Amino acid sequence: MASGTETTHDATADAAHGAADAGHAVAEHADGMPQLDFSTFGNQIFWLVLTLGIIYFVLAKIALPRIAAVLAERQGTITSDIAAAENLKQKAVEAEEAYNKALADARAKAGEIVAEAKAEIQAELAVAAAKADAEIAAKATESEAEIAKVRASAVESVKAVAKDTTKEILGAMGSKADAKAVTAAVNARMKG
């Protein structure tokens, strides 16, 4: 040992010692590498196997089945909830359809009523119109007859006046008028 001081620490002393008698790789002392202290291996392996055995037992018998059951149950609940929601949605759709159908029916009925009323009014209107036409026609024929009468009398008057006037004019002109000829002439004129 080159240092040779009393303060030399265990670790260095030990390492140097280990290095000195080469081939003795195992550090017997704690200050080497505790992982390579083979004297503790039996102890570690025993406790490790025990630990893993306990954990395996607890997990396989209690924890994992329980968590699996909880997850399955949750999955089931979610599935049934989704199914219920689907059901409700279906019902809502049906309700909407029914509502739409009722609305369409009501609309159709209203249309029918309107058409009926229209037809009725149309019919009444037609009757009234026919009656009015008939009345108007009757009035018109009556009026025409009157007018015809008036016209006939007017023509007669005109003829008379024309004959008289013609006689007067002829008289004034100094020639005796032949009554028959005048009448014929006036009649011919009136026709033309």
Partner 1 sequence: MEGDIVQMGAYIGAGLACTGMGGAAIGVGTVVGNYISGALRNPSASASQTATMFIGIAFSEALGIFSFLVALLLMYAS
Partner 2 sequence: MAEEASAFNIHPMDQFVIKPLFGGHELNWYTPTNETLWMGIAILAIIGLLVLGTRGRAIIPSRTQSIAEMAYGFVYNMVVDVAGKDGLKYFPMIMTLFMFIVFSNFLGLLPMAFTPTSHIAVTAVMAMGVFLFVTILGFARNGMKFLSIFWISAAPLALRPILALIEIISYFVRPISHSIRLAGNMMAGHAVIKVFAGFAGALGLGAVAPILAISAVYALEMLVAFIQAYVFAILTCVYLKDALHPGH
Residue 16 within binding range of partner 1, rule CB under 8 A:
yes
Residue type at 56?
A: Y
Choices 29-37, 76-84, 115-123, 160-168; region in contact with partner 1 by CB under 8 A: 29-37
CA distance 56 to 42: 21
The CA-atom distances, in angstroms, between 171 and each of 48, 140, 158, 175, 176 are 171, 45, 19, 6, 6
Name the burial class of residue 106, with classes exposed (0-12), middle (13-18) and buried (19+) by CB atoms within 10 angstroms of its CB. exposed
Residue 30 within binding range of partner 1, rule CB under 8 A:
no
Nearer to partner 2, 30 or 102 (CB): 30
Residues 122-144: b if buried by 16+ CB within 10 A, e if exposed: eeeeeeeeeeeeeeeeeeeeeee
By CB under 8 A, the count of residues binding partner 2 is 48
User: Cα 108 vs. chain centroid, distance in angstroms?
Assistant: 19
Nearer to partner 2, 43 or 175 (CB): 43
Give the one entry of partner 1, partner 2, none that residue 137 binds, where binding means its C-beta sits below a cut-off of 5 to 8 angstroms depending on kind: none
> Between residue 29 and residue 88, which ones bind partner 2 under the rule CB under 8 A?
30-37, 39-49, 51-52, 54-56, 58-60, 62-64, 66-71, 73-74, 77
> Between residue 148 and residue 187, which ones bind partner 1 under the rule CB under 8 A?
none
Residue 26 within binding range of partner 1, rule CB under 8 A:
yes
Shortest Å distance, C-beta 67 to partner 2: 5
Shortest Å distance, C-beta 2 to partner 1: 5
Residue 20 within binding range of partner 2, rule CB under 8 A:
no
Largest CA distance in the chain: 199
Instruction: Please give the angle made by the CA atoms of 20, 22 and 23, to the nearest 5 degrees.
Output: 155
CA distance 10 to 17: 10
Residues in contact with partner 1 by the rule CB under 8 A: 1-2, 11, 15-20, 22, 25-27, 31-33, 36
Residues in contact with partner 2 by the rule CB under 8 A: 1-3, 5, 7-9, 11-12, 30-37, 39-49, 51-52, 54-56, 58-60, 62-64, 66-71, 73-74, 77
